[in-house]
C-alpha cells in the first residue's frame, strides 16, 4: 500500500518516484549499494596514500621507506580498480533473483548469471599490449558505464536463451544431484550469450575499433576542442561531466582532455602571469573547479553530506552520511556516489547536476566582481574545504566563498533528500506490511521468513540480526496482562508477554520476532530469559503482599526440543524461592505441538515439579482434543477467533459451550482471550467461561501499572 500511495502522488514527487521505481534502475541501484563494502575499503586506500598533511607523508616515508604507498595501492587494486566487473556480477545476480521470483519452478542460479555477465564484460575489454593482461584502466570506475550496459544486455540475452527449453541440457540423476542439473541447463544459454559479445567485439575490430571504452571517451571530449575558456564553456563542461557521473561514467576522467587543454592550461598561464608581475588572465581553472565547485568530490557532495547528516537520526540516509564523512572531508566521495547511490538514482539527478552549475556561476561572479582573487597556484585535490579555499585565493575570501557555496548547495540538495527519505520510508513500510502478512500466514506454508524473496527476506534477516543484538544488550522486556474472574472482578492470574522495541521501527509484533527467533535458533535463550524474568517479577509481587495470582509464561514448541528445559525452569523457580504452583507454562504455537513421546515426557516433567500447563489457541485450526488426553493440561485458552465471533456466530457459541462442558468434566480451567466487549463477556459467562483476558479489562501493562490493576480489581459480569 505504501508504494501505491507514493506512486499516485501528484507533482514532482510522484513523477520522480515513478521513474525511480523502474525495475532496472532499482536493480542497478541495489547492485551498486551491494558494492559499498568494497568501495569503502577502496576509499580508505586512497585516503591512506593521499592524506594531505606533509608531516604525515614524511612520517610514513621515514617509517616504511619510499614504497610506503604500496599497501594503499594494493587496496585500491583489489577494490575500486576492479569495480566494473564486481558491479557486473552483482547486477547479474540481482536480475537472476528477480527472474526466480517470477519463475518459481524454473530457477536460474544467481551466481551463474552473475558469472556470465562478468565474462561477457571481459570479452569487450581490449587487453593491454603487455602479456595480454586485463588493463586496470577499464575495469575500474572508468569502465562502469559500459559494464552496466553489458550486464543488462547479457543478463537479458541469457534469460531469453534459457527460456528456450531445447537449448538446455537435461541432466539429473541420483549420483549427480541437483547442482549438476542446474549447471548443465545453463551451458547452452551461457555459451550463446558470451559468443554474441565475442562476435560483437570481432565486428568492432573489423571496423577499426579495438578499444570500445576509448571510443566512448573520445566521442565525449571531442566537441570541446575548439571552445574557449568562458563561463558558458564551464557550464557545458560541468553539465556533461556530472551527467556522465550520473550514468556511471567517470565524468572527470571522460572530460580529462578538456580539463588538460582548457583549464590546466589556464592554470599554467595564471602562474606565468603572476611570476611576471602581471594579473592572472583566467578566472576558471582546474583549481577553480576543485576548490569552489567540487567540494567533497563531484556534485559538491559535501553539501549533500551535510544535508544528509541533518535527516532523522534513525534514517538510513544519515547512516550513509556518517560512514562517508571522513573520506568526503578529503574530497573522496565514492561512498556517496555508489553507496547512496547517486548513479542512476532519479531523485538526485537534478541536484547533482544543478548544484555544480550554480556554484560555477556564483564563484565566477565572486571573482569577476573582485571579491575572490583568481587562482594562481595548484592545491592538492585532497585538501579539506576552507583550507583549500584559503590556499587557492591566498586570502580568507576563498574560504568565505566556499562557505557560501556549501550553504547554497545544502539548500539545493535538501528538498530532494526529503523526497528520497519519504520514498524510502514508504517503500520500507510497504515491504514491512507484507512481511507482517507473511509472518501471520506462516502456518499455511513451510517457508521461512529469512528465505522470502527480495526486500521481505532482507528485512527479515536484518531484524533477526538486530534481535540477536537486542538479546545480548538485554533490550527485550515483559509486559503483563491481567486474567480476571468475571464473577468477582478479582485478578487471578497474569500472562507475561514478551515485547521488543526496535531502535528504528518501534515495537515489532511478537508474532514476527518470535517467528524469527524460532527460525534462526535462539528462541531457547529468549524462552529461558522470559521464565527467569517472570519468576523475578512474581517474587517481587509476592514480597509486596500480592497473593492468589498465577504467573503464566510462554514456552515455544521449539523449546520442547530441549531435554534440559524442565531443569532450566526448575532453576528459575528455585532461584527466586517460589512455590511452583504459582507459575504456569503456556505452550504457544500449537500448530507445531506434537503428541509424540518427546513432548509428552517434557510436559509431564514440568507438571510433576508443580508447574501447571496451559494450551493456547484451543478449539480451532490445528488444535486437537488429543492434547487433553496426551498432555497434563491444567488450563486451555480459547482460540481468539471463537471469542471474537461468540456474539454473532451460533457455531462459535456452540463450540465454546461444548469445550466448557468438557473442561468441567475433566477439571480443567477454561480461559477466554481477546475479550473486548461487554456483550462478549456476558455471552461467554452464560456459556460457562468465567476467566477472561483482553482489552475489556486491560491491555498488557508494565509491572508497576499491572500491580496497581491487581490491587484495584475490575467490574463483575
How many Å apart are CA 341 and CA 354, to the nearest integer? 17
Q: Residue 519: name the closest of 417, 589, 472 by CA.
A: 589
How many Å apart are CA 637 and CA 616, to the nearest integer? 5
Length of the chain: 717
The pLDDT value recorded for residue 15 is: 47
Q: What is the residue-wise DSSP string for 99-144?
A: HHHH-TTS---HHHHHHHHHHHHHHHSPPPTTTTPPPHHHHSGGGH
494 touches 526 (CB < 8 A): no
Do 677 and 564 lie in a common domain? yes
> Taking the alpha carbons of 666, 669, 674, 677 in that order, is the dihedral positive or negative?
positive
Q: Residue 459's CB: how many other CB atoms inside 10 A?
A: 20
Read off the C-alpha cell for 80. Answer: 575500486
What residue numbers bound the domain in which 537 lies?
477-499+521-712
3-state secondary structure of 284: coil
How many Å apart are CA 628 and CA 619, to the nearest integer? 11
663 touches 670 (CB < 8 A): yes
Which of 182, 209, 236 is where one domain is finished? 209
For cell 482489552, name the residue.
695
**C-alpha triplet 85, 86, 89: angle, nearest 5°:** 85
The pLDDT value recorded for residue 75 is: 92
Do 419 and 342 lie in a common domain? yes
Do 200 and 231 lie in a common domain? no
E-state strands within 462-577: 477-485, 491-499, 501-502, 506-507, 550-555
Which residues on adjacent β-strands are paired with residue 612? 584
| Cis-peptide, bond into residue 423, ω within 30° of zero | no
Which of 425, 440, 456 is where one domain is finished? 425
Do 205 and 262 lie in a common domain? no
Query: Taking the mean position of all CA atoms in its chain, how far away is CA 54?
Result: 40
Do 665 and 600 lie in a common domain? yes
How many Å apart are CA 395 and CA 376, to the nearest integer? 12
Q: Residue 296's CB: how many other CB atoms inside 10 A?
A: 26
The pLDDT value recorded for residue 216 is: 78
The pLDDT value recorded for residue 574 is: 96
Do 583 and 651 lie in a common domain? yes
Q: For residue 547, what is the domain's CATH number?
A: 3.20.20.450
Phi first, then psi, for residue 386 (nearest 5°) are: 80, -50
Which of 425, 440, 465 is where one domain is finished? 425
54 domain residue, yes or no: no
How many Å apart are CA 511 and CA 532, to the nearest integer? 21
Q: What burial class does residue 264 get, using C-beta atoms within 10 Å of its C-beta: 0-12 exposed, 13-18 middle, 19+ buried?
A: middle
Read off the C-alpha cell for 280. Answer: 592572472
For cell 506434537, name the residue.
594
Give the per-residue SS3 of 256-274.
Answer: HHHHHHHHHHHHHHHHHHH
95 domain residue, yes or no: yes
Q: Residue 21's CB: how many other CB atoms inside 10 A?
A: 15
306 domain residue, yes or no: yes
The pLDDT value recorded for residue 687 is: 94
Read off the C-alpha cell for 205. Answer: 575490430
How many Å apart are CA 277 and CA 297, to the nearest integer? 33
C-alpha pair distances (Å), 165 with each of 93, 189, 190:
21, 10, 14
511 domain residue, yes or no: no
304 domain residue, yes or no: yes
Q: Residue 659: name the closest of 611, 609, 615, 606 by CA.
A: 615
Region class of 480: left (phi > 0), else alpha (psi between -120 and 50), else beta: beta
Do 559 and 635 lie in a common domain? yes
Tell me: the pLDDT tens digits for 273-332?
998 989 999 999 999 999 999 999 889 999 999 999 887 666 677 888 888 888 888 888
Query: Taking the mean position of all CA atoms in its chain, how far away is CA 143?
Result: 27
Phi first, then psi, for residue 207 (nearest 5°) are: -85, 5
Query: Taking the mean position of all CA atoms in its chain, how far away is CA 585?
Result: 37
Do 200 and 257 lie in a common domain? no
Do 588 and 651 lie in a common domain? yes
526 domain residue, yes or no: yes
3-state secondary structure of 359: helix
Do 366 and 321 lie in a common domain? yes
If one counts the domains in the chain, the total is 3
Which residues of the chain have a pLDDT value below 50? 1-10, 12-13, 15-17, 19-20, 444-446
492 domain residue, yes or no: yes
How many Å apart are CA 267 and CA 252, to the nearest integer? 17
99 touches 114 (CB < 8 A): no
How many Å apart are CA 160 and CA 676, to the nearest integer? 56
Helix 396-440 / helix 316-329 crossing angle, nearest 10 deg: 150
459 domain residue, yes or no: no
Do 290 and 204 lie in a common domain? no
* DSSP alpha helix (H) spans, 340-395: 349-368, 387-393
Q: Residue 83: name the closest of 133, 31, 131 by CA.
A: 31
How many Å apart are CA 153 and CA 160, to the nearest integer? 11
Read off the C-alpha cell for 121. Answer: 564484460
Do 613 and 658 lie in a common domain? yes
Amino acid at each position: 500500500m505504501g508504494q501505491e500511495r507514493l506512486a499516485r502522488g501528484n507533482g514532482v514527487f510522484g513523477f520522480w518516484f515513478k521513474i525511480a521505481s523502474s525495475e532496472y534502475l532499482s536493480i542497478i541501484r541495489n547492485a551498486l549499494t551491494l558494492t559499498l563494502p568494497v568501495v569503502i575499503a577502496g576509499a580508505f586506500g586512497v585516503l591512506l596514500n593521499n592524506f594531505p598533511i606533509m608531516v604525515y607523508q614524511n612520517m610514513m616515508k621515514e617509517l616504511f621507506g619510499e614504497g610506503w604507498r604500496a599497501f594503499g595501492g594494493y587496496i585500491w587494486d583489489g577494490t575500486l580498480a576492479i569495480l566494473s566487473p564486481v558491479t557486473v556480477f552483482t547486477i547479474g545476480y540481482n536480475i537472476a533473483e528477480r527472474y526466480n521470483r517470477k519463475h518459481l519452478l524454473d530457477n536460474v542460479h544467481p551466481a551463474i548469471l552473475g558469472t556470465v555477465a562478468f565474462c561477457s564484460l571481459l570479452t569487450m575489454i581490449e587487453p593491454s599490449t603487455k602479456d595480454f593482461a586485463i588493463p586496470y584502466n577499464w575495469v575500474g570506475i572508468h569502465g562502469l558505464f559500459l559494464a552496466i550496459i553489458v550486464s543488462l544486455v547479457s543478463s537479458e540475452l541469457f534469460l531469453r536463451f534459457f527460456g528456450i527449453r531445447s537449448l538446455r541440457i537435461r541432466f539429473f540423476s541420483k549420483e549427480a544431484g541437483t547442482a549438476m542439473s542446474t549447471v548443465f541447463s545453463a551451458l547452452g544459454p551461457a555459451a550463446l550469450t558470451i559468443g554474441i559479445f565475442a562476435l560483437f567485439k570481432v565486428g568492432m575490430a573489423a571496423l577499426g575499433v579495438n578499444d570500445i571504452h576509448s571510443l566512448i571517451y573520445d566521442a565525449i571530449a571531442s566537441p570541446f576542442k575548439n571552445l574557449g575558456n568562458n563561463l558558458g564553456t564551464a557550464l557545458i563542461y560541468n553539465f556533461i561531466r556530472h551527467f556522465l557521473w550520473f550514468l556511471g561514467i567517470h565524468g572527470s576522467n571522460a572530460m580529462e582532455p578538456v580539463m588538460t587543454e582548457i583549464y590546466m592550461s589556464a592554470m599554467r598561464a595564471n602562474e606565468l602571469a603572476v611570476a611576471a608581475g602581471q594579473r592572472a588572465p583566467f578566472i576558471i581553472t582546474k583549481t577553480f573547479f576543485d576548490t569552489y565547485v567540487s567540494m567533497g568530490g563531484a556534485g559538491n557532495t559535501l553539501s549533500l553530506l551535510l544535508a544528509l547528516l541533518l535527516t532523522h537520526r534513525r534514517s538510513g540516509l544519515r547512516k550513509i552520511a556518517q560512514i562517508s564523512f571522513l573520506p568526503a572531508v578529503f574530497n573522496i566521495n565514492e561512498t556517496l556516489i555508489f553507496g547512496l547511490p547517486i548513479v542512476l538514482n532519479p531523485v538526485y539527478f537534478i541536484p547533482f547536476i544543478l548544484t555544480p552549475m550554480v556554484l560555477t556561476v556564483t564563484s565566477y561572479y565572486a571573482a569577476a566582481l573582485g571579491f575572490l582573487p583568481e587562482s594562481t597556484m595548484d592545491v592538492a585535490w585532497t585538501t579539506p574545504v576552507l583550507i583549500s579555499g584559503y590556499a587557492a585565493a591566498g586570502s580568507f575570501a576563498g574560504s568565505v566563498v566556499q562557505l557560501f557555496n556549501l550553504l547554497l548547495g545544502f539548500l539545493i540538495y535538501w528538498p530532494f533528500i526529503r523526497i528520497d527519505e519519504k520514498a524510502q520510508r514508504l517503500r520500507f513500510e510497504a515491504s514491512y506490511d507484507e512481511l507482517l502478512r507473511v509472518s501471520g500466514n506462516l502456518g499455511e506454508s513451510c517457508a521461512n521468513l529469512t528465505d522470502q524473496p527480495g526486500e521481505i527476506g532482507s528485512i527479515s534477516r536484518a531484524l533477526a540480526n538486530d534481535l540477536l543484538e537486542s538479546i545480548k544488550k538485554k533490550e527485550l522486556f515483559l509486559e503483563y496482562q491481567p486474567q480476571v474472574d468475571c464473577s468477582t472482578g478479582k485478578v487471578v492470574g497474569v500472562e507475561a508477554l514478551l515485547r521488543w522495541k526496535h531502535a528504528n521501527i518501534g515495537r515489532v509484533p511478537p508474532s514476527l520476532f518470535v517467528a524469527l527467533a524460532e527460525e534462526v535458533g535462539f528462541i531457547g535463550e529468549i524462552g529461558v530469559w522470559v521464565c527467569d524474568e517472570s519468576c523475578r517479577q512474581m517474587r517481587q509481587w509476592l514480597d509486596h503482599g500480592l497473593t492468589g495470582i498465577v504467573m503464566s509464561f510462554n514456552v515455544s514448541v521449539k523449546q520442547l526440543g530441549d531435554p534440559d528445559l524442565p531443569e532450566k525452569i526448575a532453576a528459575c523457580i528455585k532461584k527466586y524461592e517460589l512455590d511452583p504452583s504459582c507459575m504456569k507454562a503456556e505452550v504457544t504455537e500449537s500448530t507445531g505441538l506434537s503428541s509424540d513421546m518427546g513432548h509428552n515426557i517434557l510436559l509431564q516433567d514440568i507438571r510433576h515439579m508443580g508447574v501447571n500447563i496451559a494450551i493456547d489457541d484451543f478449539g480451532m485450526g490445528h488444535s486437537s482434543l488429543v492434547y487433553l488426553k496426551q498432555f497434563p493440561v491444567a488450563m486451555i485458552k480459547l482460540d481468539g477467533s471463537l471469542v471474537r465471533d461468540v456474539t454473532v456466530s451460533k457455531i462459535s457459541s456452540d463450540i465454546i459451550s461444548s469445550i466448557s462442558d468438557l473442561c468441567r468434566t475433566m477439571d480443567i480451567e477454561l480461559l477466554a482471550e481477546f475479550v473486548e466487549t461487554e456483550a462478549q463477556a456476558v455471552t461467554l459467562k452464560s456459556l460457562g467461561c468465567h476467566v477472561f483476558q483482553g482489552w475489556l479489562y486491560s491491555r498488557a501493562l508494565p509491572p508497576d501499572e499491572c500491580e496497581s490493576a491487581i490491587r484495584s480489581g475490575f467490574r463483575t459480569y
